[in-house]
């Protein structure tokens, strides 16, 4: 369907238009245009819900590099539709919120351009069937999120947070690309659907596990799994709308999507099960444990996001066990974990998006997010309090909110998998429900902190920058809608379950779906007095006890001092890299032209000369060469004499004239070899450069030739002789040993192949058109650089200051 690719490109088109709207249409807030784009996309994708729910899929292929099997194939099934609706729907609410949140003095043109780029990149990720195209969009999400996180670039912490997120996610993306290449080589295709369909033919390949680990590295870094989670708290330096969008509903969910999409490929393997489940559960615990110690509301929400992402990740790991058992009652039971993961993914986007917006409202209203300075806001900000209460209780997993439903399903999944008899679960399985339950207790504690420490207790106006007040109504619309969704999903969960989650399950378990297995299930708030209910009751009781006794046990955090944290280790590694690389660079960047030439020539001698000696390829037959005429011999002797004479020149003028003899000698050789066009070009270039040399050296101080030390002169002599020998041997080899037929015969037919009568023009314009285009691009970039320097110089003359803040 052509409209699918248009929809994916729509945000990129909007990103190109927004700067002009912002500059020339000042009467209308540019955010409304971005809101129109995201709303239109949500409506567009929503129309496919009945089609996808009936089992159909939407595809469209746009040829890109068909000779290598690289095409832009957009694929919309239940899984990609769920993510597309989240990306566009939450995006619309975030944009509406940002219109009232951001000041008109901000660079809104840049903000909404970056946001549209990110939205388009995320849609590209979740709808791409080609692995290499997916990677392109994947890295574009990292770049656009870098720009959004660093939006307030005047702040050092914003720049540092953006750099950290870029380094970690791009490094993981490169690892993922290597994994994709391995998969493509094993499967013989770049199509994800074809890889899934042929997985049985290469799942015993020796690269299979390596590819799996590399793909997981990409997923773990993007979705902030331990130990790569450290970028997410620092990314909270971004404006709150960015945090609400990127770090609760979209970017961090890209890693989740990757795991879900590649579960049919790697699921069923013990390595995949333990990696995804183990890392997810530990991230769940570690995120919730560290959230309790935070004093900044956004930092608390950052660690809570890490925790919730770990929970979703672990459920996908548990669900993958179903593929190890084939079609059986037990395997179908394990698929419910993946169903719960998808359901909680949607729930998390609603309550976490609302909470981020609440934190932004509090910060916007009172001027601080420091929990120690907050309190008593319930009477002054009752609407904001209601939204915060709904979101926090849902995150804690309490009824009547949607988080309770998916959290109960999570408890059920970890209890069921702990009783399985494979993947060494007989030994380690009991740890899964224990870790899940303990982490849920801490989740309850930090959810209580958000509500109690912010809105209850005494009001401390003297510690606030502004008196507390409700924001403009427009800023409340988006979080109110999300809060209503939190409640509405609890009472009507099967609307999402049957129309979105169930079709998405077919993308995770296509084999079971093809066999007619019912992958969906009905969602109920009441399951009777089952173990998961008692686990929830235990979470509430112990959570309340820990919350009200915090001062007696929070000393445990001193066992994890900041100086031993992963963040400090990350900073130490970066500092060492910077220090060592600076020292290494300074060791060879001596600002001495001779040193640079020595490096170049030594590399040439070692690489080319060494390879000739190693392979024994330095073979040539002089008798087979053409005879040397007297004119050629005389010209060569003159050039050799001029080259040697340059070394003994006493003035610049003499050196320039001797150097020009070499250039004109080459032109004479072109004439002797019957290449008049090259001879003419060489003559013109040599004449112009000689004149330029003379004009430039006129302004230089008098040249005083200084004798270099004897060691330096000897070194120069040895290097020059070696370079001359290597060049001569290579030239003789090329002339004598023709291993392959000359490629020139292909270009002799240039008229029929390219329609050009001039062979040289055809080569430049057709056969190597891409190379020529890139050369023009280089000139364009150089021209832009010159233009920028001229503009900066002119601006400085006008008194404007440019400095890095």
For 319-353, give the DSSP string. HHTHHHH-SSHHHHHHHHHHHHHHHHHHHHHHHHH
Residues 434 and 544 in one domain: yes
Residues 633 and 693 in one domain: yes
How many Cβ atoms from other residues are within 10 Å of residue 45's Cβ? 26
Assess whether pLDDT exceeds 50 at residue 557: yes
Cα–Cα distance list, 448 to 394, 396, 441, 442, 547 (Å):
11, 8, 11, 10, 7
Residue 242 lies in a domain: no
Residues 570 and 612 in one domain: no
Q: Phi/psi at 513 (nearest 5 deg)?
A: -65, -40
Residue 772 lies in a domain: yes
What would the mean pLDDT of 218-227 be, rounded to a whole number?
94
Residue 530 lies in a domain: yes
* CA terminus-to-terminus distance, the chain: 49
pLDDT digits (tens, 9 = 90+) for 600-635: 999 999 999 888 888 877 776 666 667 788 888 999
- What does the alpha-carbon distance between residue 15 and residue 8 come to, in Å, rounded to a whole number? 12
8 Å CB contact between 610 and 730: no
Q: Strand, coil or helix: what is 762?
A: helix
Residues 624 and 664 in one domain: yes
Residues 479 and 608 in one domain: no
The pLDDT of residue 400 is: 93
- What does the alpha-carbon distance between residue 142 and residue 667 come to, in Å, rounded to a whole number? 52
Assess whether pLDDT exceeds 50 at residue 799: no
**Residue whose structure tokens are 């609440």:** 358
Residue 523 lies in a domain: yes
Residues 422 and 472 in one domain: yes
Enumerate residues 6+ apart whose C-beta is below 8 A from 254: 122, 125, 126, 138, 141, 222, 223
Burial group, residue 797, by CB count within 10 angstroms (0-12, 13-18, 19+): exposed
Residue 100 lies in a domain: no
The pLDDT of residue 393 is: 96
- What does the alpha-carbon distance between residue 752 and residue 247 come to, in Å, rounded to a whole number? 56
The pLDDT of residue 802 is: 37
The pTM score is 0.82
Residues 631 and 757 in one domain: no
What would the mean pLDDT of 553-558 be, rounded to a whole number?
87
How many Cβ atoms from other residues are within 10 Å of residue 60's Cβ? 19
The pLDDT of residue 65 is: 79
What would the mean pLDDT of 716-722 be, rounded to a whole number?
90
Residue 544 lies in a domain: yes
- What does the alpha-carbon distance between residue 183 and residue 266 come to, in Å, rounded to a whole number? 11
How many Cβ atoms from other residues are within 10 Å of residue 412's Cβ? 21
The pLDDT of residue 803 is: 40
What would the mean pLDDT of 69-80 be, rounded to a whole number?
89
What's the half-sphere exposure (Cβ side, CA atoms, 13 Å) at 385? Answer: 18
> Where is the domain boundary, 549, 578, 607?
578
Q: For a pLDDT cut of 90, what percent of the chain falls above it?
A: 54
Residue 394 lies in a domain: yes
Residue 529 lies in a domain: yes
The pLDDT of residue 435 is: 94
For 342-401, give the DSSP string. HHHHHHHHHHHHHHHHHHHHHHHHHS--BGGG----TTT-HHHHHHHHHHHHHHHT-TTS
The pLDDT of residue 331 is: 64
The pLDDT of residue 547 is: 94
Residues 739 and 778 in one domain: no
What's the half-sphere exposure (Cβ side, CA atoms, 13 Å) at 774? Answer: 3
Least confident of 15-29, 196-210, 510-524: 510-524
> Where is the domain boundary, 547, 578, 609?
578
Assess whether pLDDT exceeds 90 at residue 397: yes
The pLDDT of residue 796 is: 58
Residues 626 and 534 in one domain: no
What would the mean pLDDT of 179-199 be, rounded to a whole number?
93
Residues 434 and 358 in one domain: yes
Where do runs of H (alpha helix) occur along 223-296? 231-234, 240-246, 251-266, 270-291
- What does the alpha-carbon distance between residue 792 and residue 805 come to, in Å, rounded to a whole number? 17
Residues 323 and 458 in one domain: yes
Assign residue 669 the CATH number of its domain.
1.20.120
pLDDT digits (tens, 9 = 90+) for 99-152: 999 988 888 999 999 999 999 999 999 999 999 999 999 999 999 999 999 998
Mean of pLDDT over the chain: 88
Residues 742 and 755 in one domain: no
Assess whether pLDDT exceeds 50 at residue 370: yes
Assess whether pLDDT exceeds 60 at residue 805: no
- What does the alpha-carbon distance between residue 451 and residue 393 come to, in Å, rounded to a whole number? 9
Range of the domain at 788: 748-805
> Where is the domain boundary, 548, 578, 608?
578
Where do runs of H (alpha helix) occur along 492-592? 493-496, 502-508, 510-514, 531-548, 550-553, 566-588
The pLDDT of residue 192 is: 93
The pLDDT of residue 800 is: 44
739 pLDDT band, cuts 50/70/90, is low
The pLDDT of residue 554 is: 86
Please tell me the total count of domains within the chain. 3
- What does the alpha-carbon distance between residue 683 and residue 678 come to, in Å, rounded to a whole number? 8
Enumerate residues 6+ apart whose C-beta is below 8 A from 159: 150, 153
Buried b (16+ CB within 10 A) or exposed e, 173-203: bbbbbebbbbbbebbebbbbbebbebbeebe
pLDDT digits (tens, 9 = 90+) for 327-365: 555 666 778 899 999 999 999 999 999 999 999 999 989
Bridge partners (DSSP) listed for residue 72: 62
Helix and strand numbers (H, E) in the chain are: 37, 2
């Amino acid at each position: 369907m052509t409209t699918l690719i248009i929809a994916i490109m729509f945000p990129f088109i909007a990103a190109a238009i927004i700067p002009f709207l912002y500059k020339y249409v000042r009467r209308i807030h540019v955010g409304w245009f971005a809101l129109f784009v995201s709303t239109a996309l949500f409506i567009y994708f929503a129309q496919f819900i009945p089609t996808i729910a009936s089992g159909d899929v939407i595809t469209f292929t746009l040829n890109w590099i068909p000779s290598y099997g690289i095409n832009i194939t957009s694929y919309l099934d239940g899984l990609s539709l769920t993510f597309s609706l989240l990306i566009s729907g939450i995006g619309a609410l975030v944009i509406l919120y940002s219109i009232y949140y951001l000041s008109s003095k901000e660079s809104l043109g840049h903000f909404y351009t970056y946001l549209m780029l990110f939205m388009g990149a995320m849609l590209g990720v979740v709808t791409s069937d080609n692995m290499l195209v997916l990677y392109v969009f994947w890295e574009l999400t990292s770049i656009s999120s870098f720009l959004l996180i660093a939006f307030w670039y005047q702040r050092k912490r914003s720049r540092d947070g953006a750099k950290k997120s870029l380094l970690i996610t791009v490094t993981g993306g490169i690892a993922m690309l290597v994994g994709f290449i391995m998969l493509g080589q094993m499967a013989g295709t770049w199509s994800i659907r074809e890889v899934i369909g042929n997985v049985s033919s290469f799942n015993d390949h020796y690269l299979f596990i390596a590819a799996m680990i590399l793909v997981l590295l990409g997923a773990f870094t993007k979705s902030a799994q331990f130990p790569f989670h450290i970028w997410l708290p620092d990314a909270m330096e971004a404006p709150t709308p960015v945090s609400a969008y990127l770090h609760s509903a979209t970017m961090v969910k890209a890693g989740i999507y990757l795991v879900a999409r590649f579960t049919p490929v790697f699921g069923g393997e013990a390595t995949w099960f333990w990696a995804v489940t183990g890392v997810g559960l530990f991230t769940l615990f570690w995120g919730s444990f560290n959230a309790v110690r935070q004093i900044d509301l956004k930092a608390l929400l950052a660690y809570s996001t890490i925790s919730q992402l770990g929970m979703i990740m672990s459920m996908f790991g548990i669900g993958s066990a179903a593929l190890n058992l084939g079609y059986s009652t037990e395997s179908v039971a394990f698929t419910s974990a993946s169903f719960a993961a998808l359901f909680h993914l949607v729930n998390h986007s609603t309550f976490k998006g609302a909470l981020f917006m609440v934190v932004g409202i509090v910060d916007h209203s009172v001027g601080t997010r420091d929990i120690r300075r907050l309190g008593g806001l319930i009477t002054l900000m009752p609407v904001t309090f209601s939204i915060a209460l709904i979101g926090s209780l849902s995150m804690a997993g309490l009824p009547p909110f949607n988080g309770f439903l998916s959290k109960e399903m999570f408890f059920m999944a970890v209890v069921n998998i702990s009783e399985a008899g494979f993947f060494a679960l007989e030994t380690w399985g009991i740890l899964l429900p224990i870790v899940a339950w303990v982490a849920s207790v801490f989740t309850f504690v930090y959810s209580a902190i958000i509500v109690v420490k912010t809105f209850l207790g005494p009001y401390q106006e003297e510690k606030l920058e502004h008196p507390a007040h409700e924001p403009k109504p427009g800023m409340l619309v988006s979080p109110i809608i999300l809060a209503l969704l939190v409640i509405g999903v609890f009472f009507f969960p099967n609307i999402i379950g049957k129309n979105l989650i169930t079709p998405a399950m077919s993308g995770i378990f296509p084999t079971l779906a093809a066999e007619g297995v019912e992958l969906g299930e009905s969602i109920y708030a009441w399951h009777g007095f089952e173990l998961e209910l008692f686990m929830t009751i235990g979470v509430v009781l112990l959570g309340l006890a820990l919350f009200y006794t915090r001062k007696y046990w929070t000393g445990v955090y001193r066992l994890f001092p900041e100086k031993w944290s992963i963040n400090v280790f990350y900073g130490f590694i970066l500092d060492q890299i910077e220090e060592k690389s600076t020292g290494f660079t300074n060791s060879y960047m001596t600002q001495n032209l001779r040193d640079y030439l020595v490096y170049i020539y030594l590399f040439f001698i070692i690489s080319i000369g060494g390879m000739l000696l190693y392979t024994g390829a330095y073979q040539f037959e002089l008798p087979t060469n053409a005879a040397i005429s007297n004119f050629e011999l005389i010209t060569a002797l003159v050039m050799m004499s001029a080259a040697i004479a340059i070394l003994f020149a006493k003035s610049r003028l003499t050196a320039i004239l001797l150097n020009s003899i070499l250039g004109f000698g080459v032109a004479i050789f072109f004439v002797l070899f019957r290449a008049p066009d090259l001879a003419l070009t060489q003559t013109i270039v040599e004449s112009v450069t000689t004149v330029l040399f003379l004009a430039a050296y006129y302004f230089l101080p008098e040249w005083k030739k200084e004798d270099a030390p004897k060691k330096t002169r000897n070194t120069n002599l040895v290097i020059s002789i070696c370079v001359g020998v290597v060049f001569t041997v290579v030239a003789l080899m090329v002339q004598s040993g023709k291993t392959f037929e000359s490629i020139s015969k292909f270009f002799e037919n240039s008229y029929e192949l390219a329609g050009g009568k001039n062979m040289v023009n055809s080569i430049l314009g057709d056969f190597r058109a891409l190379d020529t285009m890139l050369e023009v691009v280089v000139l364009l970039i150089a021209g832009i650089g010159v233009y920028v320097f001229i503009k900066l110089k002119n601006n400085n003359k006008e008194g404007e200051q440019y400095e890095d803040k």
